[in-house]
Structure 1
């Protein structure tokens, strides 16, 4: 798959539980990681590790330069994914992440995007107005390398009764 540019991405309309099928997939727009992203995350999180904040230190590591914080890139992935629009306003709650793996570093200047695919849909047994959706999420760079991946679990509304 070719990595998307800012002009080339898949936008989705709102989906409710019954609108989804296993295999549905989307690709977000792309976004470049900046120096400001790294400094801002370091400041508000308190993670001032020199791998992120000290160029001289980072040069001496296996990465050869500073890298973005893994959790900071994950946060940006959340924003990219939400910009697709398919869960707004149908999402009730984000329930968790399963088996998240940080496979490759993300450098300042890398352009990242998210690929997402529905892997599981389960209507609630106790509350008929909702269900669980699991999506496989891949955070990729401009070379289409998967930098982070895992499964996101969301509590999603069923279509409102008047729309059925």
Structure 2
């Protein structure tokens, strides 16, 4: 069981495991999302872009962050729902072969009118293998209360 609303403290930081972005990840995401933009799928085309090569979909990296966060167990069985993604920024490209990791910092908590849940705002960050910040934003979530 993950952490309940009462267990979370402002300033707590939870790092995720790392994951390398593979060619299969990019191809599969293109298929699932329908986003076949050539900057993701055509090496020759991508060479002529500001990236100089194919880049992973930004939303693929965001989706992977959610999976990496799940692997920490912090919200296992206690996260009720996402309410909002705020101020999410895609700061640097991520390429096939890059390895990403994330971190979650608790930045705000507030009780709701319902005694079984509270709102938790988390600042999330994604870093590449060089420690460069590639994405960041805030997730606003409903989290179970222990006695709810």
Q: Which TM-score tier does this pair reach, normalised by the shorter chain? A: over 0.9
Q: Tell me, yes or no, if structure 1 residue 156 matches structure 2 residue 147.
A: no
Structure holding more strand per residue: 2
> In structure 2, the residue corresponding to 1:30 is in which secondary structure?
strand
The TM-score, its normalising length taken from structure 2, stands at 0.97
**Structure 1: gaps spanning 5 or more residues:** 1-12
The equivalent position to 1:112 in structure 2, one of 100, 114, 119, is 100
Distance 1:49 1:91 in 2: 34
Q: Distance in 2 between matches of 1:41 and 1:90?
A: 28
Q: Supply the RMSD in Å over aligned alpha carbons.
A: 1.0
Partner of 2:17, secondary structure, is coil
Deviation sequence 1:6-41 (CA, Å, 0-9, x none): xxxxxxx72101111100111111000000000000
Moved over 3 A (4+): none
State the match for 1:18 in structure 2: 6
Name structure 2 gaps, 5 residues minimum: none
SS in 2 for 1:83: helix
Whether 2:113 is the aligned partner of 1:137: answer no
Normalised to the residue count of structure 1, the TM-score between the two structures is: 0.88
Deviation per CA, 1:82-111, whole angstroms, max 9, x where unpaired?
A: 111111111111112000000000000000
Q: What residue number does 2:45 align with?
A: 57
- 1:77 matched to 2:74? The reply is no
Matched residues in 1 for 2:15 and 2:114: separation?
Answer: 31
Residue 27 in 1 paired to residue 15 in 2?
yes
Aligned counterparts, 1:66-105, within 5 A: 66-105=54-93
